[in-house]
Amino acid sequence: MQTAVIRELFKQSDKHLGKSIRVHGWVRTVRVSKSFGFIELNDGTFFANLQVVFEENLDNFAEVARLVTGSAITVTGTLVESPGAKQPFELKAESIEVVGTCAPDYPLQKKRHTFEFLRTIAHLRPRTNTFAAVFRVRSLAAFAIHKFFQERNFVYVHTPVITGSDAEGAGEMFRVTTLDFDRTPRNEAGQVDFTRDFFGRETGLTVSGQLEAETYCQAFGRVYTFGPTFRAENSHTPRHAAEFWMIEPEIAFADLQDDMRLAEDMMKYVIGYVLDNAPEEMDFFNKFVDKSLLARLANVLQSDFGHVTYTEAIDILKNAPEKFEYPVEWGADLQTEHERYLAEKHMQKPVFVTDYPKQIKAFYMRLNDDQKTVAAMDLLVPGVGEIIGGSQREERLAYLEQRMAELGLSHEDYWWYLDLRKYGGTKHAGFGLGFERLIMYLTGMGNIRDVISFPRTPKNAEF
Amino acid sequence: MQTAVIRELFKQSDKHLGKSIRVHGWVRTVRVSKSFGFIELNDGTFFANLQVVFEENLDNFAEVARLVTGSAITVTGTLVESPGAKQPFELKAESIEVVGTCAPDYPLQKKRHTFEFLRTIAHLRPRTNTFAAVFRVRSLAAFAIHKFFQERNFVYVHTPVITGSDAEGAGEMFRVTTLDFDRTPRNEAGQVDFTRDFFGRETGLTVSGQLEAETYCQAFGRVYTFGPTFRAENSHTPRHAAEFWMIEPEIAFADLQDDMRLAEDMMKYVIGYVLDNAPEEMDFFNKFVDKSLLARLANVLQSDFGHVTYTEAIDILKNAPEKFEYPVEWGADLQTEHERYLAEKHMQKPVFVTDYPKQIKAFYMRLNDDQKTVAAMDLLVPGVGEIIGGSQREERLAYLEQRMAELGLSHEDYWWYLDLRKYGGTKHAGFGLGFERLIMYLTGMGNIRDVISFPRTPKNAEF
């Protein structure tokens, strides 16, 4: 007899109707009358439940009738058309084996739970509709990203997580060490002797794989990373986590325009893929999480992303009929409220802001001819704000060295990065996409803690 | 005019022959006579070089004639059939723009370099044939793994990298901290006060995402992880790194047999995908790295993997006509020499060794009815040894609690893991595949340092 998953039954019911099949799954609800009952069964492969019908001819009718939410069962039976209007078919049970019982203190009883409560049982929350949908979309979006880049001849690079370098020159990094706080080795001057640490030097968790990705870009022409990155920032916002995943493509023989085209193509591809492959989940979000979600995503697929320079953006904000908490001034970084105004109210679609003042951007960004701004771009999207940050990189050795000197960055720490400008350097560009922010954008979920399986934030590393 | 990548020219030359195109790339070699010259051009998208022909009618003939290995150029010209026998077509240049010159101290001159030397210039080594091939295969294999699982309805889960728990109960973990060695907060008893560390507790880098993956498995039925894992082991072997990537699928309603079937299917799928998508690279490895590679992989695709129990394996080893350095004794772990003998000499193909003594395996593995062994499996492959380790998990709460008590593992640290056995627990199983070992197996490369972009090993975290 064939074991089937519930997704298959829904997607190809014709193939299974009238056939005897076996299905495993977890009980969502049971309704029982004297001589028969219904089980809503979910096996995790599909958003909807399979209706199982059982009758008193079942050997263990009494046991099955007492099943509670959360129990694991194996059902053997025939898939038949359903007389009810609510579902197209149902599984008429010939036998039901109780595989795993569920203790009465099971926290996921059939009632609404707050997202805050569900974070305290992050090991169980993927069993709920909302989180099943979030984490299926997350999985599909991750695959869509790989598919997008692989189809375009990009090489996937695993850049290191443990690093001796600080890519941004200003990141707040976690230390990685095997030294003991109680018996810390010291040198003659009394300082901690990191030559005796595991790697023989100070190391931390990476804030970005970009610099390493650039080295591979200059070999393969087109590369991308997709891995975890870290910030030891004491941020308590709904958009910041200490550990998150980032995608960082890097393209050679390319400028900022190519970079933005790539970002726009990628965003549209991922949105399209998720809408095609998780229509049930996306409908659910649209109904219960964010009623404008599907309209907004459809709008993104159909429209060209906006483009404004930072200088234009400052003008727009200064003339905006809004009061902002933070002042708007050329030279200051845009705050979330500014970013959201630009994307949500002014443009009403995703918008690239380009050519930021060099003072507020990283050392590796390419200096524009005005000598004041750099070839940077941020992609702002309605509902989330900044989702992508990128730039054309400074490929001119003299300019790069000058900028590093201004910022006090040492040649010694970046010798290999500078080498790229000495040996067949090319124009090149890239960007970083915060994967969790993408998932928030795709699902309408408002808190980053609800789109990461086990979020890490200040004072929280449970599970 | 169309910009083309070299892969496209080789894969679909018909489409481009006779057309005017633009190609970017890096010079591998230049040969010049008085009035014309040849450039071997590589753009990183394809293993083979494109031959570019230029003649003295070029505006900058003298500049081009002086180009050195490693320079970046943009060529415009017509793709024509080649009179030479060595290549099917060549690009007749109408213009060549020098995009990036290459300094004379470029370390990658046209001569053989040792792998040891190339490790010291890990930022440049992907520009060599060997490492271009290794890292393209690595990228393709990563995608093949995602494709395999996604096609089978598995959900990809990002389990946390920073963790408060030690999955194996015995791993050597890196500490992750923001505390200062010089001003370490102490409690009244003089101990380090980790409640004042970033996460409010002691945290380290994960050694496995399995326990967290199990929580998602009990929601989605089939899940997999693919992420970095860490060991703070002072190992100096060619097979160990401090940071490596691991794939950990986990399947519900499944036993050890299902687990081994999944592992075998996955291995064959990945091998097939890489052979199909990187034939040039695989031919190269077969010629220059391991002359038996293609025959061995073909053999794997065609044969069923072997199966022996640990107890049978001990008998085989005891009767082997070999002297082993480490003694063979029931109850002791198999050493690499034993594993390689079993796979390479005895079975001459990949072999699963199952049902190990419980003492040498992790606490979560399911106890067999003999009360002495557990439902574990290791997959051993010729040339590498252990590449996969997996097991059916102990789903019976009482057994799991007893084993944890024997090993002194606290209920408090694992409350959420135990919950899975209380709330609709099912038979389930999974395994971990060391991604770098897979790449070694696929390429014939002998040192893990040569299949990771920037390897992390004791005393080494350069780049």
| CB pair distance less than 8 Å for B242 and A198 | yes
**pLDDT given for residue B170 in this prediction:** 54
| CB pair distance less than 8 Å for B164 and A139 | no
**pLDDT given for residue A167 in this prediction:** 56
Pair A23, A50: CB distance under 8 Å: yes
Asked if A261 is an interface residue toward chain B (Cβ–Cβ < 8 A), one would say no
Asked if B206 is an interface residue toward chain A (Cβ–Cβ < 8 A), one would say no
| Residues 339-368, chain A, touching B (beta carbon < 8 A) | none
**pLDDT given for residue A417 in this prediction:** 96
**pLDDT given for residue A105 in this prediction:** 96
**pLDDT given for residue B167 in this prediction:** 56
Q: What is the pTM of this model?
A: 0.97
Tell me the per-residue pLDDT of A296-320, one tens digit each, with 9 for 90 and over.
999 999 989 999 999 999 999 999 9
Asked whether the predicted pLDDT for residue A169 surpasses 70, the reply is no
| CB pair distance less than 8 Å for B123 and A420 | yes
pLDDT (tens, 9 = 90+) of chain B, 463 residues, equals 889 999 999 999 999 999 999 999 999 999 999 899 999 999 999 999 999 999 999 999 999 999 999 999 999 999 999 887 778 899 999 999 999 999 999 999 878 899 999 999 999 999 999 999 999 999 999 999 999 999 999 999 999 999 987 655 556 899 999 999 999 999 999 999 999 999 999 999 999 999 999 999 999 999 999 999 999 999 999 999 999 999 999 999 999 999 999 999 999 999 999 999 999 999 999 999 999 999 999 989 998 999 999 999 999 999 999 999 999 999 999 999 999 999 999 999 999 999 999 999 999 999 999 999 999 999 999 888 899 999 999 999 999 999 999 999 989 889 999 999 999 999 999 999 999 999 999 999 999 999 999 999 999 999 9
Going from the C-alpha of B178 to that of each of A25, A189, A413, B229, the distances in angstroms are 43, 23, 22, 20
Asked whether the predicted pLDDT for residue A232 surpasses 60, the reply is yes
Task: Please tell me which residue of chain B has the smallest CA distance to A395.
Answer: B100
Tell me the per-residue pLDDT of B431-446, one tens digit each, with 9 for 90 and over.
999 999 999 999 999 9
| CB pair distance less than 8 Å for B72 and A176 | no
- Look at the alpha carbons of A318, A320, A326, A331 in this order and tell me if their dihedral is positive or negative: negative
Pair A231, A206: CB distance under 8 Å: no
| Residues 30-59, chain A, touching B (beta carbon < 8 A) | 43-45
**What is the distance between the alpha carbons of residues B349 and A69, in angstroms, rounded to a whole number?**
46
Per DSSP, B315 falls in state H
**What is the distance between the alpha carbons of residues B184 and A182, in angstroms, rounded to a whole number?**
9
Average pLDDT value over all residues in chain B: 95
Average pLDDT value over all residues in chain A: 95
User: What distance in Å separates residue B76's CA from the closest CA in chain A?
Assistant: 14
Asked whether the predicted pLDDT for residue A356 surpasses 90, the reply is yes
A383 pLDDT band, cuts 50/70/90, is: confident
**pLDDT given for residue A170 in this prediction:** 54
**What is the distance between the alpha carbons of residues B202 and A395, in angstroms, rounded to a whole number?**
42
| CB pair distance less than 8 Å for A453 and B212 | yes
**pLDDT given for residue A83 in this prediction:** 83
Residue among B136, B452, B459 minimizing CB distance to A155: B136
Asked whether the predicted pLDDT for residue A110 surpasses 80, the reply is no
Residue A21 forms beta bridges with which residues? A2, A77
| CB pair distance less than 8 Å for A427 and B212 | no
Residue among B142, B198, B252 minimizing CB distance to A458: B198
How big is the A-B interface in CB pairs under 8 Å?
320
Residue among A222, A427, A453 minimizing CB distance to B216: A453
| Residues 81-100, chain A, touching B (beta carbon < 8 A) | 99-100
**Residue A223 CB-density burial (10 A; 0-12 exposed, 13-18 middle, 19+ buried):** buried
Asked if B208 is an interface residue toward chain A (Cβ–Cβ < 8 A), one would say no
Asked whether the predicted pLDDT for residue A54 surpasses 80, the reply is yes
Residue among A132, A177, A420 minimizing CB distance to B219: A132
Asked whether the predicted pLDDT for residue A44 surpasses 90, the reply is yes
| CB pair distance less than 8 Å for B132 and A219 | yes
Buried-exposed string B57-78: b where 16+ CB fall within 10 A, e elsewhere: ebeebeebbebbbbbbbbbbbe
Q: Can you spell out the DSSP letters for B166-212?
A: -TTSS----EEE---SSS--B-TTS-B-GGGSTTSS-EEE-S-SHHH
Would residue B347 be called left, alpha or beta, if left means φ above 0 and alpha means ψ between -120 and 50 degrees? Answer: alpha
| Structural tokens at position A350 | 């995703």
User: Tokens 């400008």 identify what position?
Assistant: A421
Query: Percentage of chain A surpassing pLDDT 70?
Result: 99
Residue among B124, B139, B423 minimizing CB distance to A124: B423
Residue B21 forms beta bridges with which residues? B2, B77
Residue among A72, A135, A219 minimizing CB distance to B127: A219
**pLDDT given for residue A112 in this prediction:** 86
* Helix pair A279-288, A129-151: axis angle to 10 deg: 130
pLDDT average, residue stretch A178-185: 93
Pair A265, A243: CB distance under 8 Å: no
CA atoms within 13 A on the CB side of A270: 24
Q: Where are the beta strands (DSSP E) in A239-350?
A: 243-252, 306-309
User: What distance in Å separates residue B128's CA from the closest CA in chain A?
Assistant: 9
